[in-house]
Amino acid sequence: MQNNRGASINKNRDAWVEINLSNLENNVLKVKEYILKHCPDKDNPPDIFAVIKADGYGHGSIMCAPTLIACGVKEFGVASIDEGIELRENKIQNPVLVLGASPLWAFENAIKHNIAVSVFNEEHLSTAQQLYKRLGKKLKAHIKLDTGMNRIGLTCDNANEFVKKVLSADYIDLKGIFTHFADVENKKLFSSQITKFKNIVDCHLSEFKRRNVKVHCLNSPGIFEYPEYCYDMVRLGVTMWGITPYSEDNPNFKDMLPVMGLKGRITNIHTLKKGDGISYGHTYIADKDIKVATIPIGYADGLARKLSGNIKASLNGKTIQQIGRITMDQTMFDVSNVDCAIGDIVTLIGEENKEDNIDSWAKKLDTINYELVCRLKMRLKRIYVR
């Protein structure tokens, strides 16, 4: 899978996603500072494992990885072996773990590309054993424990036997053991999950230490709320991208800066006469003559049609209102109050726009910010700035 954004310069379309690498750096360094201050063993802070699955939550994993490595990130997490191979093909040599479940038939490729997979059942072990016999190479793996997310992983009842078996297997190179929390803001649920995780990990801790098997469980909100459980590594995702993992405002998030912007240049300016409608269905009718600007971004780019008439943007330092239905490739704004010309930049998401951001869009769409950053399509070229 070749997906090198370095080669994709936005030559023929004036619409793009802007990725601010300085803000990415700021966020990782701020999280590192927080961890250093709050982790249990200050002389031995945990490694940072950056979660760059789904093309770095839409930000571009290959283009962001060098900045992350420069900030001290040690390992990477992806969703599939293909995503891992993409990192390897782009010369990223750090340890990579596939956080999701990988198909047995693809384990051989994980070995070939030096990618660790999550293991949690007998089939995983027997496949690794067969591959070892055939290739003479060990599968790199992290044991995935299911402590209550109930998605994938080994249920805790028979986990000790499984851990012992993996520790004694000569065909697996065990690199880690981990779990994932279903809702860090729910204290009762967190406490139940961490207790189950701790009970199992504690039984094997000295062996894990001796063999440098990394214990890890915290994601973004976990790092802030429960740094006492940093163990050897923390898995940092959404926070490094500058979008909040919290459902409400939270002071822990205050130093983070948004990494993703969404911008397009005006392609057309015209007058909409009083009484005329605009876009499909004429859902907006002008109550006076207004000046309208069109930008070449639409729902095919991931700008949800449901946001029609309900977002604001920034143009030449002024706020503008989106009007009429968002169409597949184009969207219109009332720019009556702005001195503007074709080619001027409309900022839908970005520091210039104080009225809307990924979080406000998520609220309007009754979804989460995680989904929206992943939704912006590859068709919008990513432009990297500092």
Ligand X SMILES: Cc1ncc(COP(=O)(O)O)c(C=O)c1O
Contact between 116 and ligand X by CB under 6 A: the answer reads no
* Angstrom distance (rounded) from CA 337 to CA 317: 11
Q: Which stretch binds ligand X (CB under 6 A): 12-20, 22-30, 235-243, 311-319?
A: 235-243
Mask for 46-85, x = binds ligand X (CB under 6 A): -----x----------------------------------
Applying CB under 6 A, among 235, 263, 325, 382 the residue interacting with ligand X is 235
Identified binder of ligand X from the candidate list 21, 65, 99, 145, rule CB under 6 A:
99
Strand order across the beta sheet in which 312-315 lies: 268-272, 290-295, 331-334, 318-323, 312-315, 345-349, 260-265, 15-20, 381-385
Distance of closest approach, residue 218 Cβ to ligand X, in angstroms: 8
Of residues 53, 140, 144, 214, which has the active-site annotation? 53
Closest approach of Cβ 112 to ligand X, in Å?
24
Q: Does 219 interact with ligand X (rule: CB under 6 A)?
A: yes
Q: DSSP letter at 157?
A: G
Tell me whether residue 77 or residue 302 sits nearer to ligand X (CB atom). Answer: 77
Query: What are the C-alpha distances in Å from 45 to residues 154, 195, 216, 229, 232?
Result: 28, 22, 12, 11, 7
- Residue number of the CB atom closest to ligand X: 237
CB closer to ligand X out of 57 and 107: 57
Long-range CB contacts (< 8 A, 24+ apart) of 29-34? Answer: 29/71, 30/255, 30/256, 31/223, 31/236, 31/239, 31/240, 32/71, 32/72, 34/223, 34/224, 34/227, 34/252
Residue 280 is among the residues annotated as catalytic for this protein: yes
Q: In the bound complex, what is the minimum distance in angstroms from residue 78's beta carbon to ligand X? A: 10
Which residue lies nearer to ligand X by CB, 224 or 299?
224
Task: Tell me if residue 53 is catalytic.
Answer: yes
Query: Is residue 227 within the footprint of ligand X (CB under 6 A)?
Result: no
Q: Which is nearer to ligand X, 152 or 269 (CB)?
A: 152
Q: Which of 165, 280, 363, 377 is catalytic?
A: 280
Contact window for ligand X (CB under 6 A) among 133-141, 166-174, 237-245, 308-316: 237-245
Stretch that binds ligand X, among 234-242, 256-264, 265-273, 286-294 (CB under 6 A): 234-242
Choosing from 180, 196, 263, 325, the residue that interacts with ligand X (CB under 6 A) is 180
Sign of CA dihedral 57, 62, 67, 73: positive
**Sites for ligand X among residues 245-264 (CB under 6 A):** 245
CB 338 within 8 A of CB 315: yes
**81-89 helix and 61-70 helix, angle to the nearest 10 degrees:** 70
**Longest alpha-carbon distance in the chain:** 78
Closest CA to 124 of 146, 145, 102: 102
Tell which one of 26, 220, 322, 327 touches ligand X (CB under 6 A): 220
For strands 75-78 and 15-20, give the pairing: unpaired
Contact by Cβ (8 Å): 238, 244? yes
Number of neighbouring beta carbons within 10 Å of residue 230: 23
- Using CB under 6 A as the binding rule, whether residue 340 contacts ligand X is answered as no
Residues within the interface to ligand X (CB under 6 A)? 51, 99, 180, 219-220, 235-239, 245
